[in-house]
Chain A
Amino acid sequence: MDAFILSYAVVNGLLQGAIYGGVALGLSLIFGVLRVVNFAHGSFLMLSLYISFWCWSLFGMDPYLSALITVPVMFALGYMVQSVVIAPLIRRESAMVVEPLSALLLTAGVFLVMDNMALMAFGPDVRALQGAYYIPTIFIGGIPISGQRLIGALAAFVVALGISYWLRHSDMGRAIRATAQNRDAASMSGINVPAVYAVTFGIGCSILGLFGALISPFLPISPSIGLAFGIKSFVVVVLGGLGSISGAIVGGIVIGVFEAVASQFVTATSASIGSLVLFILILVFRPQGIMGRA
């Protein structure tokens, strides 16, 4: 393989990997604070893609502008799912050891409901935005870089930095970190734990709202799109370290570059087997992930 093809593959992998990371941020944040593996993660992304699509097709809204709608809507939805569906479980189990399996099952239920409601409401047809061709592809040394993908990739870094800063320097952020470290201690020092949980879940989902708006210009949308991103997000987050914000971005880039380079040597199907093997190896030998603490 020559240097051109290799650097081309790396650029591809970086762009795609950063987007994987950005999409996975919410999953990692929610796990870090609530210890809940959100099986419905991809479904929330699917929904925000649809919202972005409908904003464009019904009102002619620019897909990037639709973030103004998707972000608050997804925040509200996440807030609601946490306080209505998951909170009763956490209340019930608060006295005992938290059993994350029940939460996984609960969100698996949310996944089944959301994906199939979307199928019932929107139908199985694949949809795609057509209006967004104003961002041209740039060619650097003969390597094409899609403007839209570049924006998505950059946004992943910005969001990750923004969330980290906010967690460190705002009151709510500090409350979230305190709750993540020790729920009972946080509760005793006057932090409203249920509210913190709901806000965290809301923020996790609103990040998906943002990325829904950012990737809707180039991604075909169907009710089953969520699962593809959902499983990828699990791999990314486990690789980077469940609960780690920077880990999500690092994990995304590792997977993105790994798949891009590997698929130049073998078929993409073998590359995807490779990333699953990597996933298992990490879980068995370093369950805290690349960036997570032991």
Chain B
Amino acid sequence: MNRFAALDKTPQARGLRLTQTHVLLVIVAGLAFVPLVVTDSFTLHSIIMILFFAYMATSWNLVCGYVGQLSLGHAMFNGVGGYVSVLMFTQLGLSPWLGMLFGGLLAMVLAVLIGLPTFRLKGPYFTLTMIAFAEIVRIWVENTNDFAGIPLKGAEGLIVPNRGDDFWAFQFSGKVPYYYIILTFLALALAATAWMERSKLGFCLKAIRGDRDAAEALGVNPTRYTSIAFALSAFMTAIGGSFYAQFFRYINPERSMGLELSIDMAVMAIIGGQGTVLGPLLGAAILTPIAELARGAFGGGLLGLHLVVYGFALMACVLYFPKGAIDPLRKIFRKIAGGGAK
């Protein structure tokens, strides 16, 4: 699974990359029409959750999928984003639209501080360190009611006071505005990934992933490029955390910073296809409904069934589809595109 982002410079691939941009545009445009068709609030809510997880998995993928480091600590950035924007809103009256940028910046700083000493760690060592960092942040927040005058409220979590329909407060009574907001975020994240793939940053990351020492010998500074990508990924994850906080108007450390959210993000990206633009979106689109179906169908009669399915899907992907579920789709696509070219 180290190589599935390998550079592919065949002519078809170049053609495909064009097609991929088209696919992206078609998907986003198609999604933009969904609220016109779907008026049922629950269905819309479910689709918002799918898009939210797709956005989170895409943010995760930005660094982890391309550098090949498995972070199981990204929930920490999600939590930082949520906490900063909510606290700035409740304490300073700052609009969450601005607050989330501050949350994102703080997450970036945190990411660089954590990343500098840990990027050198290989494979499982990096993963274990990230789990440890995220757990430290979570345990600390859970046990801190008040930090330097800031009411973190510990494990109780933070409540966003209700302001009714107010754009600047990032609060809406209907679901449609939230839908378009998360769709915009997702589109931006996908565009950022697509852009990065073709940018110098992307090439350097791929080189680092392939062979870190060789990349260094060629003058690529691995720490610098991984830090940039890691910071970018942390920033985007934190923005997602702010969205979560505004959408549910409640956050607590257990959910927003817990290991489970980190696993969810990683598993969705990996099953969909890490190191690809559309993989994480596909992963979220497959796995989120599985969880909901399992809940709805058995109503808790078979506890934890959806997680068993996640587990099997993860194992099957690692063993048989190391490039993720997107890979077979891409092959079919390539065939069609290739056939068309001839």
Tell which of A97, A120, A270 touches B305, judged by Cβ atoms closer than 8 Å.
A120
Please provide the chain B residues from 260 to 306 with a CB less than 8 Å away from any CB of chain A in the complex. Answer: 263, 267, 270, 302-305
| Pairwise interchain contact B131-A104, C-beta atoms closer than 8 A | no
Taking the complex as formed, is B177 at the interface, i.e. its CB lies under 8 A from any CB of chain A? no
Alpha-carbon gap, A156 to B106, bound state (A): 45
Please provide the chain A residues from 33 to 81 with a CB less than 8 Å away from any CB of chain B in the complex. Answer: 37
| Pairwise interchain contact B139-A272, C-beta atoms closer than 8 A | yes
| Pairwise interchain contact A110-B315, C-beta atoms closer than 8 A | yes
| Pairwise interchain contact A120-B303, C-beta atoms closer than 8 A | yes
Interface of A is mostly: helix
Taking the complex as formed, is A115 at the interface, i.e. its CB lies under 8 A from any CB of chain B? yes
Tell which of B2, B302, B319, B322 touches A120, judged by Cβ atoms closer than 8 Å.
B302
- Residues of chain A with a CB closer than 8 A to B128's CB: 37, 234, 238, 279, 283
Known: A97-B2, A273-B136, A276-B135. A104 touches B123 (CB 8 A): yes
One digit per residue, 1 when the CB lies within 8 angstroms of any chain B CB and 0 when it does not, for chain A 130-168 equals 000000000000000000000000000000000000000
Known: A120-B304, A273-B139. A102 touches B312 (CB 8 A): no
| Pairwise interchain contact B311-A280, C-beta atoms closer than 8 A | no
One digit per residue, 1 when the CB lies within 8 angstroms of any chain A CB and 0 when it does not, for chain B 93-131 equals 000000000000000000000000110011111011101
Chain B residue with minimal CB distance to A98?
A: B123
Chain A residue with minimal CB distance to B211?
A: A97
| Pairwise interchain contact A280-B132, C-beta atoms closer than 8 A | yes
Taking the complex as formed, is A119 at the interface, i.e. its CB lies under 8 A from any CB of chain B? yes
- Residues of chain A with a CB closer than 8 A to B117's CB: 284
Looking at the assembled complex, report how far the CB atom of A294 sits from the nearest CB atom of chain B, in whole angstroms. Answer: 14
Interfacial residues, chain B to chain A (CB-CB below 8 A): 1-2, 68, 70, 117-118, 121-125, 127-129, 131-133, 135-136, 139-140, 142-143, 263, 267, 270, 302-305, 307-308, 310-315, 318-319, 322
Known: A119-B303, A269-B139. A287 touches B125 (CB 8 A): yes
Chain B residue with minimal CB distance to A104?
A: B124
Taking the complex as formed, is A6 at the interface, i.e. its CB lies under 8 A from any CB of chain B? no
A-B contact pairs, 16 of them (CB 8 A): A96-B2, A100-B123, A101-B68, A101-B70, A102-B322, A104-B123, A109-B313, A110-B311, A111-B311, A112-B307, A235-B132, A276-B132, A276-B136, A276-B139, A279-B132, A280-B132
Chain B residue with minimal CB distance to A123?
A: B303
| Pairwise interchain contact B311-A102, C-beta atoms closer than 8 A | no
Alpha-carbon gap, A96 to B131, bound state (A): 28
Taking the complex as formed, is A193 at the interface, i.e. its CB lies under 8 A from any CB of chain B? no
- Residues of chain B with a CB closer than 8 A to A110's CB: 311, 315
Alpha-carbon gap, A276 to B139, bound state (A): 11
- Residues of chain B with a CB closer than 8 A to A89's CB: 318-319
Looking at the assembled complex, report how far the CB atom of A35 sits from the nearest CB atom of chain B, in whole angstroms. Answer: 9
| Pairwise interchain contact A283-B124, C-beta atoms closer than 8 A | no
Taking the complex as formed, is A184 at the interface, i.e. its CB lies under 8 A from any CB of chain B? no
Please provide the chain A residues from 226 to 275 with a CB less than 8 Å away from any CB of chain B in the complex. Answer: 231, 234-235, 238, 267, 269-270, 272-273
Looking at the assembled complex, report how far the CB atom of A274 sits from the nearest CB atom of chain B, in whole angstroms. Answer: 10
Chain B residue with minimal CB distance to A106?
A: B318
Known: A37-B124, A100-B123, A283-B121. A113 touches B308 (CB 8 A): yes
Alpha-carbon gap, A284 to B305, bound state (A): 38
Alpha-carbon gap, A110 to B131, bound state (A): 18
Choose among A102, A111, A112, A269 the residue with the greatest number of B CB atoms under 10 Å from its CB: A112
Known: A112-B308, A113-B308, A120-B304. A99 touches B123 (CB 8 A): yes
| Pairwise interchain contact A101-B139, C-beta atoms closer than 8 A | no
- Residues of chain B with a CB closer than 8 A to A270's CB: 143
- Residues of chain A with a CB closer than 8 A to B305's CB: 116, 120
Known: A99-B2, A108-B263. A116 touches B304 (CB 8 A): yes
Alpha-carbon gap, A115 to B318, bound state (A): 19
Alpha-carbon gap, A120 to B305, bound state (A): 7
Tell which of B70, B121, B127, B304 touches A119, judged by Cβ atoms closer than 8 Å.
B304
Alpha-carbon gap, A115 to B314, bound state (A): 15
Taking the complex as formed, is A277 at the interface, i.e. its CB lies under 8 A from any CB of chain B? yes
Looking at the assembled complex, report how far the CB atom of A208 sits from the nearest CB atom of chain B, in whole angstroms. Answer: 19
Known: A117-B308, A287-B125. A105 touches B139 (CB 8 A): no
Alpha-carbon gap, A273 to B134, bound state (A): 11
Alpha-carbon gap, A106 to B319, bound state (A): 8
Alpha-carbon gap, A111 to B311, bound state (A): 7
Tell which of A92, A272, A287 touches B121, judged by Cβ atoms closer than 8 Å.
A287
Taking the complex as formed, is A88 at the interface, i.e. its CB lies under 8 A from any CB of chain B? yes
